[in-house]
Structure 1
Amino acid sequence: MRAILELSRFKKQLLAASVDAVMLPLTLFFAIWLRYDHVDLLLIKQYAWLMLAAPLVSIPVFIRIGLYRAMIRFIDPKIVYVVVLGVSLSLVVLVTMSAIVTRLEGLSRGVFGIYWVSAILYMVAGRFIARGYFIRAMGPLDGTRVAIYGAGNAGVQLASALRMVPDYTPVAFIDDNRDLQGATIAGIRVHGSDNLERLITRRSIKEILVAMPSLSRAQQKDILNRLEPLKVKVKITPPVGSLLSGQLRLQDVRDIEIEDLLGRDPVVPDMGLLSSCITGKSVLVTGAGGSIGSELCRQILRLKPSRMLLLESAEFNLYSIEQELQGMRQSLGIELELIPFLGSVLDQQKCTRMLQTFNVDTIYHAAAYKHVPLVEHNPVEGIRNNVFGTLSIARAAVDARVGRFVLISTDKAVRPTNVMGCTKRMAELILQAFAREQKHTRFCMVRFGNVLGSSGSVVPLFHSQIMAGGPITVTHPEITRYFMTISEAAQLVLQAGAMGEGGDVFVLDMGEPVKIIDLAKRMIHLSGHEVKSDATPEGTIEIRQIGLRPGEKLYEELLIGANAQGTGHPLIMRAQEAELAWPALQRILDRLNDACNRFDVETVRELLLEAVSEYAPQCGIEDFIWTARTARIKPETARIHAVK
């Protein structure tokens, strides 16, 4: 059998055709014997030419319909349809030939009927028997022992795929359907989910593969909650809509991701809202190469604007997103003008010329410094980019009479405890003031929490720490955060922006906040590990608390007040927030700009407190240069200490 497996593809096809050439006449002989209950020399002479014709007719038909292209080891039940088609076509040819040659005189119609059934049985049964022998010949099944959660079509397809590779050995199905429990499907017994711990121990199961792609996220989350305490590695199939081929394959199974644990089903977007500010219009995205900006660009492109401008200060990021969008544009067959600009939102003159030259209708302002500790240590740069960058592009938008301006804000702007959050709140105040000073440009802002998959996200960090064997680092045991997928966040931003009437602060429904330490534990358990602690010293992954970073907040909020109003979208609310009149805000901004130019970080801190009344710094001034000078030590030493 090993020798057959090592044959070339052509030789295997030739061997299969040769076997059929021998077996089809024997099958016809068997049909004659069944019809007449005996076979004598007269019958053999009468049907001899038909037995010779059977392979000569059938094999070309089988070749034409592609029967020999199917690899025996990978055949599935669909081959039955191919066999029935091939045998039926060949039988029609044989009957036609018989009618021409003998006018069916002396030939029994029953022989043809029995041959049709017998040939189908031989072709199908023979190939599945050969498949079983070939799989056994590939060697003993000593791969990772896995259980498949879900004994439906997806589970059976996955079990078939697993049998083709030596890495996995499926030993059990798990299903909540009591009608299936106790049955044997594809040679694998179906078990209930009542006593999984005993099943895992008894069958030495190392991984559980959830093969139920039609489940909603809430149902999927419920299953993961039940599997988590088992401390076996869990993998999952993507939603059924992601399986483009309609078949579940081994490569479709993936590791658990944070969105699987959140359990919130996506809301169908309102296409009217999505397209109203984009389709057929000239659109600018600032910070186009960043995490949020790049996802906005992808979704905007699909909505077919007439022109798309990308503004980005990082050369490589701009190059990467432009190349990606050009590829998307070509593959989707979308006609639009795609223009990349290398530069900063602080260059107001360039921004104004850009907006006027290309008649920009809508701006999505995503350019910002967002990492809390980095901005805390570099407050002047954070203020310049987040506050004065927003001021610059907003003034340019007013001068160019842009129709709509949408700021990407953050939940950290609510009662901020850090410089980054305070700068984003100041950016909101600027746009609110501009909305009251003029009527042509509609300014609005959209707040949301942590975005999964964005740069610096905690989830990829946890994944890499688990892969390295730990420890997982958590700043504080009580810290909680809101999470949303990057695609959902971008989609909601586009819809919220279309609702803006001027000065609106939109807040996205982020679902329930997640305790970061609980998230870490769940990721450890679902990766097949145990948390190492005093209670479980045999655990493999330690969770280490490293303390809050400068400016970090235990709990994030989305609203300053409690007077949010609903909108036409179930996941978008409109907040009623305090504003600062432009003359008062302008005076603060002028003094703040002067303090930044003088690098007077103490005055900067005072002005931030004056502008944002809710600002409550979590720590003192953390600017590297200021702390070094204050401590009267060499800057090189201060930098080394800060890195440590």
Structure 2
Amino acid sequence: MRTSRARKTMLMLGLDVVIAPVSLLLAFHLVGLEQFVGVITPWLSVILFGTIAVTSMLASLALGLHKVRLNSYDMACAGLSSLAALIIASVGAVLTGIIGVEVLPRLWIAMAAFHGGLSVGARALIRQILLAVYRRGDKRLRILIYGAGQTGQQLAAALKTDRSVETVGFVDDNPTLQSLNISGLRVHSPIKIKSLVEQKMVDRVILAMPSVSLPRQRQIARRLTEMGCQTRLLPSFADMVNLTSQSGEPRFDANAVLNRARLEDQIPQAAESYEGKVVMITGAGGSIGSELCRQIIDCQPRKLILVDHSEYALYAITKELTALNRKLKLVPILMSVTDRKAIERIMRAKKVQVVLHAAAYKHVPMVENNAIAGLWNNVFGTKITAEAARSVGVEKFILVSTDKAVRPSNVMGASKRLAELVIQDLATRGGDTRFSMVRFGNVLGSSGSIIPLFEEQISLGGPVTVTHPEVTRYFMTIPEASRLVLLAASFTRGGDVFVLDMGKPVRIAQVARQMIEAAGYSVRDCDNKDGDIEIRYIGLRPGEKLHEELLIGQDMLTTPHPKILRAREGKLSEIEVASALNDLRLAIEAGDDEAAREAAFKWSMPREPFKIESTAQLIS
């Protein structure tokens, strides 16, 4: 049974009381007892030894030595023990002077030395005894610390207080530290680490080297893992309180992927389209929706209506926007865009003037496996929201679309193409609302996109997974995508399809290679078998294209912005759109997944296919 804290405190206090007279007795023997025969009487001995014992107790109480845990007893505490020894010796010297007994100063020097040594040694011995007792009943994690610098030493000191952990030693690359004992632990060479792990039965190696580059740390960690060791990377203590970011996770610059100049940072021409307006953003908590919110607040809308069906996403973006602009009136609305009555009620009650519709299920594999849910949300959610906007008299409605809507090969793309056709159809019916859509390629940095996926895979040591060696995609950053949407509202005439000139498509395999090398690693392939991280090709997923397209036709017009084009594309008649929606609705209501897919692809495919390699060709 383990000793209670109070009993341990009393034990330490009693230890100090006993050590003092024992130290004095040893000092007498050291300097020679014969010098004191007849000088110190039995009665005087009682007074002297009693005073020393009481002084030791008082010094221990005053300095707090009795409260120091054995696991926490360090050099500073040893210094306090030495100070207590000096105090006790000084009191003894003063006492013998008062009673007129001549004692050589070396007696008290010896007594102080004995007291300090016994105090430190006794605590170390008791600690080892208690640890041995505890180890019998406990399974302790055996730790080897790689790095004997300041961080490693601090870690070793911290682990001493944890009974579930036993530190067996240090490993360090610095030859000047090897074979030294630091904090009671031996420093070994990394060359011996494999045998050391086996001999010491090490459970885990902790890398405590924050000054070493992260790629180098991960290289060491990978090699240790290959030896069968569990490894952990420890940041510096300054990093943990955000004083520095030296050892933090490196972030890849998404702009390095773009094969073109970035869209300018400022969009003053769009500001007047939103200034003083009531703006609704659906999907406000998503990657694009949240960036739209951040950028639109600079346009000074009168009120911003945030719509999302995710409670946490809505809470997070509302909190962020409140911190950015406390004066802007925010109205977070938790609801689905497929709730016709609710969406129209909100638009009418809040007098919405502009709608930016970013709500959609966008992940290709997820929608492919949940076709009915994806089609209902992306197609009918768009239809319901757009019809509500038209009914209420909203001035502008902008749909956020995707290049996957062009000759779609998957359910997500088909759903977005049908959403485009719905918007084009509504744009032809007259009324006060001007409908338009914005189409762009893959968004770098959004949830589920390749940048965060590859970063995670690289951080785990690989492999980095790519579907096909030749697969390409158009890319843009989240801020660019959001600016395009905001600019579209200022250019819209009704029924427009706006496309960003995104340059040439980018090979995904090249992006993977760039990111691996930017993280400080080398690619492991047939030309470099000793590389760090492998690029593994896993095959195209169901419904995935090798190459994406941005345009259905080639009839393009310019806009006031040189990087934004207006596409004129064929559309379905009102009767055809109604038939498409009816076919889709019947399949969804019947829960017929295959029929829903068939209807989606039947109506979303263009009548006259056209292939174009790059939008840059159209304006060159």
Given the two structures, how large is their TM-score scaled by the length of structure 2?
Answer: 0.58
- Are 2:390 and 2:431, in contact at CA under 8 Å, matched by a contact in 1? no
Q: Deviations over 1:228-261 (max 9, x none)?
A: xxxxxxxxxxxxxxxxxxxx99799965423134
Answering whether residue 278 of structure 2 is matched by residue 282 of structure 1, we say: yes
1:144 aligns with: none
Shift of 1:367: 0.3
Tell me if structure 1 keeps the 8 A contact 2:344–2:388.
Answer: yes
> What is the distance in 2 between the residues matched to 1:506 and 1:539?
44
> Offset at 1:306?
0.4
**Counterpart in the other structure of 2:488:** 496
In structure 2, the CA distance between the partners of 1:530 and 1:285, relative to structure 1 (3 Å rule), is same
Structure 1 residues 615 and 313 mapped into 2: Cα distance closer, same or farther (>3 Å)?
Answer: farther
The amino acid across from 2:486 in the alignment is L
Q: Which amino acid is 1:459 matched to?
A: I
Q: Please give the alpha-carbon distance, in whole angstroms, between the structure 2 residues aligned to 1:491 and 1:531.
A: 35
Q: 2:378 aligns with which of 374, 386, 407?
A: 386
The percent identity for this pair of structures is 48
Give, in angstroms, the shift of residue 517 of structure 1: 0.7
Mapping for residues 530-545 of structure 1, pairs under 5 Å: 530-545=522-537
CA distance in 1, matches of 2:421, 2:568: 12
Return the offset for 1:583.
2.2
Equivalences for residues 131-170 of structure 1 within 5 A: 167=211
> Post-superposition shift, 1:264?
4.2
**Partner amino acid, structure 1, of 2:298:** R
1:511 aligns with 2:507: no
The separation in 1 between residues aligned to 2:425 and 2:259, in whole angstroms, is 39
Structure-1 separation of matches of 2:492 and 2:412: 24
2:463 counterpart (446, 471, 480)? 471
Structure 2 CA distance for partners of 1:324 and 1:550, relative to 1, 3 Å: same
Q: Identify the match of residue 293 of structure 1 among 276, 289, 295.
A: 289
Match of 1:558 among 516, 526, 550: 550
Query: d(CA) in 1 for partners of 2:295 and 2:569?
Result: 29
Task: Measure the CA separation in 2 of the matches of 1:269 and 1:523.
Answer: 24
SS in 2 for 1:437: coil
User: What is the distance in 2 between the residues matched to 1:252 and 1:511?
Assistant: 33
Confirm or deny that 1:487 pairs with 2:484: no
Q: How far did residue 588 of structure 1 move?
A: 2.0
Displacement of 1:610: 2.8
| Residue 206 (structure 1) shift | 7.6
Confirm or deny: 8 A CA contact 2:441 2:474 kept in the other structure. yes
The answer on whether the counterparts of 1:447 and 1:506 sit within 8 Å (CA) in structure 2 is yes
1:528 matched to 2:520: yes
Q: How does 1:563-578 map to 2 (within 5 A)?
A: 563-578=555-570
Q: Shift of the alpha carbon at 1:267?
A: 3.6
Query: Secondary structure of the equivalent of 1:380?
Result: helix
Flag the 1:252–1:476 CA change in 2: closer, same or farther, 3 A. Answer: closer
Letter in 1 for 2:388: A
Q: What does residue 349 of structure 2 align with?
A: 357
State the one-letter code of the partner of 1:306. Answer: R
* 1:351–1:525 Cα change, 3 Å: same
Shift of the 359–523 alpha-carbon distance from structure 1 to 2, 3 Å rule, reads same
Give the drift of 1:167.
2.2
Residue type at the aligned position of 2:270: L
Report whether the alignment pairs 1:588 with 2:584.
no
Please report how far the alpha carbon of residue 439 of structure 1 lies from its aligned counterpart in structure 2 after TM superposition: 3.1
Matches within 5 A, 1:34-49: none
Q: CA RMSD in A?
A: 2.9
Q: Out of 381, 406, 412, which is 1:414 matched to?
A: 406
| 1:502 CA drift (Å) | 0.6
**Residue 371 of structure 1, CA deviation:** 0.4
Aligned partners of 1:312 and 1:341 also within 8 Å: yes
What is the deviation of 1:361?
Answer: 0.6
Q: Deviations over 1:367-406 (max 9, x none)?
A: 0000001111111101100000000001100110000000
Alpha-carbon distance in 2 for matches of 1:271, 1:470: 40
Matched, 1:453 2:445: yes
1:426 and 1:261 mapped to 2: Cα distance? Answer: 30
The 5 Å alignment of 1:77-226 reads: 167=211
TM-superposed CA distance for 1:166, in Å, is 8.4
Q: Cα deviations across residues 268-289 of structure 1 (Å, max 9, x unaligned)?
A: 3664432122110000000011
Structure-1 residue corresponding to 2:322: 326
Q: Which runs of structure 2 are paired with 1:369-380 in the superposition (5 Å)?
A: 369-380=361-372
Tell me how far apart the structure 2 counterparts of residues 267 and 529 of structure 1 sit (CA, whole Å).
30
Q: Is the 8 A contact 2:287 2:446 kept in 1?
A: yes
C-alpha change, 1:500 and 1:269, in structure 2 (3 Å) is farther
- The Cα of 1:168 is off from its aligned counterpart by 6.6
Paired residue type of 1:507: V
Deviations 1:435-454 (A, max 9, x none): 00123100000001111110
**Residue identity in the other structure for 1:493:** V
Alignment check: 8 A CA contact 1:270 1:495 kept: no
Superposed CA offset, 1:478-523 (max 9, x none): 1111111111210121012211111000001223211011111122
Are 2:423 and 1:431 aligned? yes
Q: Which residue in the other structure is 2:256 paired with?
A: 260
Partner of 1:87: none
Alpha-carbon distance between aligned partners in 2 of 1:395 and 1:505, rounded to the nearest angstrom: 19
How far the C-alpha of 1:344 sits from its partner, in A, is: 0.7
SS at match of 2:521: coil
Whether the 8 Å contact between 2:210 and 2:247 is mirrored in structure 1 is: no
Instruction: Name structure 1 gaps, 5 residues minimum.
Output: 1-139, 142-164, 170-204, 208-247, 617-644
Mapped partners of 2:527, 2:404: distance in 1 = 36
TM superposition shift of 1:265: 4.0
2:470 alignment partner, SS class:
coil
Partner of 2:611: none
Aligned counterparts of 1:268 and 1:610: Cα–Cα separation in 2: 39
Contact 1:422 1:615 in 2 (8 A): no
Where 2:476 maps in the other structure, the secondary structure is: strand
Equivalent-residue separation in structure 2 for 1:357 and 1:503 (angstroms): 26
CA gap 1:275/1:594 in 2 versus in 1, 3 angstroms:
same
Q: Equivalent residue for 2:541?
A: 549
Take 1:249 and 1:342, find their aligned partners in 2: how far apart are those partners?
37
**What is the alpha-carbon distance in structure 1 between the residues aligned to residue 383 and residue 357 of structure 2?**
11
State the shift of 1:538 in Å: 1.1
- TM-fit CA distance, 1:545: 1.0
1:426 positional shift: 0.5
Q: What is the one-letter code of the residue matched to 2:595? A: T
Q: How far apart in 1 are the matches of 2:247 and 2:537?
A: 36
Corresponding pairs, count: 379
Deviation of 1:614 (Å):
3.4
Distance 2:542 2:596 in 1: 17
Report deviation, 1:615: 9.5
Counterparts in 2 of 1:512 and 1:251: CA distance versus 1, 3 Å: farther
Aligned partner of 2:307 in structure 1 is 311
Give, as a single letter, the amino acid of the residue that structure 1 aligns with 2:605.
S
Displacement after TM superposition at 1:529 (Å): 1.8
Report what 2:590 is aligned to.
Answer: 598
- In the alignment, the residues of structure 2 paired with residue 263 and residue 352 of structure 1 have an alpha-carbon distance, to the nearest angstrom, of 42
Q: Classify 1:524/1:253 alpha carbon distance in 2 versus 1 (closer, same or farther; 3 Å).
A: closer
